[in-house]
Amino acid sequence: MNLHAVRAIYGFEMARTGRTLMQSVISPVISTSLYFVVFGAAIGSRIPQVGGISYGAFIVPGLIMLSLLTQSISNASFAVFFPKFTGTIYELLSAPISYSEIVFSYVGAAATKSIVLGLIILATAGLFVPLHIEHPFWMMLFLVLTSVTFSLVGFIIGIWADGFERLQVVPLLIITPLTFLGGSFYSIDMLPLFWQTVALFNPVVYLVSGFRWSFYGLADVGVGVSLAMTVAFLAISLAIVAWIFRTGYRLKV
């Protein structure tokens, strides 16, 4: 294994976060705080408890998941797309580094940033609502698995994108709507029966449900199903990345 290369890419990506602190960390924290002010304090005060939990506390896992998903995709997709855009990808392709090492480095860095961000948002949430984490191990497991999976999705988008517009299309038009409709701000049993069934086709439901269960022991679907779905998304993403490197799709001619 080319550990020096892995360290170089990982370090390079983490250093980029330092330079883009406003965009990478501060902006999501401010957005999340605004969600708490609007949904937690202003609107939430008029909503009764959900499953015995105050509405403000109920939305914490969903809010973290919202940031985790969008930031994982954004971090990884930009990290891969930018060298393609500037042309510096030549150096990566000509280096003595395997495809799995490339993925490990970029996805590892993107996932690290997302996990740190998730923990920062969790700490921020603690300023607004009393927090209780019933299953801390599972909370961290879901946090890590989700960050890695969606960083892989971001990696795929970064390779697929041939312009900045495409880079934004999937996060804005697919991920964000799915997250909002995935039970981030409500329990799906609050929906009419038909829409409850429809919601089960939304993969984000399983991520939010499992994550929320780790906080409050409260879930829309069984935690085993959530975990299995998360692992399935991870496996699908890995398979797509493996295909990209096997074929050289959008990387090599």
Measured from the CB atom, the residue of 93 and 174 that comes closer to another protein is 93
Q: Tell me if 134 sits within 8 A of 37, measured CB to CB.
A: no
250 binds another protein (CB under 8 A): no
15 binds another protein (CB under 8 A): yes
Type of residue at 37: V
**Minimum Å distance from CB 101 to another protein?**
10
Number of residues lying near another protein (CB under 8 A): 25
Taking residues 87 to 106 in sequence order and writing x for each that binds another protein by CB under 8 A, - otherwise, the string is xx-xxxxxxxxx--------
**Minimum Å distance from CB 252 to another protein?**
5
What phi and psi values does residue 186 have, to the nearest 5 degrees? -155, 165
**Minimum Å distance from CB 246 to another protein?**
11
Interior angle at CA 105, CA 62 and CA 22, nearest 5: 50
Near another protein in 127-156, by CB under 8 A: none
Q: How far, in Å, CA of 207 to CA of 203, rounded?
A: 7
177 binds another protein (CB under 8 A): no
Interface segment toward another protein; rule CB under 8 A; list 10-18, 55-63, 69-77, 227-235: 10-18
Measured from the CB atom, the residue of 96 and 130 that comes closer to another protein is 96
Cβ contacts of 36 within 8 Å, gap of 6 or more: 56, 59, 63, 124, 125, 128, 129
194 binds another protein (CB under 8 A): no
Q: Tell me if 167 sits within 8 A of 81, measured CB to CB.
A: yes
Measured from the CB atom, the residue of 90 and 137 that comes closer to another protein is 90
4 binds another protein (CB under 8 A): yes
What phi and psi values does residue 48 have, to the nearest 5 degrees? -70, 170
Q: What pairs with residue 50 in β-bridges?
A: 53
* DSSP labels, 36-94: IIIIIIIIGGGSPPBTTB-HHHHTHHHHHHHHHHHHHHHHHHHHHHHHHHHSTHHHHHH
**Minimum Å distance from CB 93 to another protein?**
5
Measured from the CB atom, the residue of 3 and 193 that comes closer to another protein is 3
Q: Tell me if 121 sits within 8 A of 64, measured CB to CB.
A: yes
253 binds another protein (CB under 8 A): yes
14 binds another protein (CB under 8 A): no
8 binds another protein (CB under 8 A): yes
The residue ranges that bind another protein (CB under 8 A) are: 2, 4-5, 7-9, 11-12, 15, 19, 86-88, 90-98, 248, 252-253
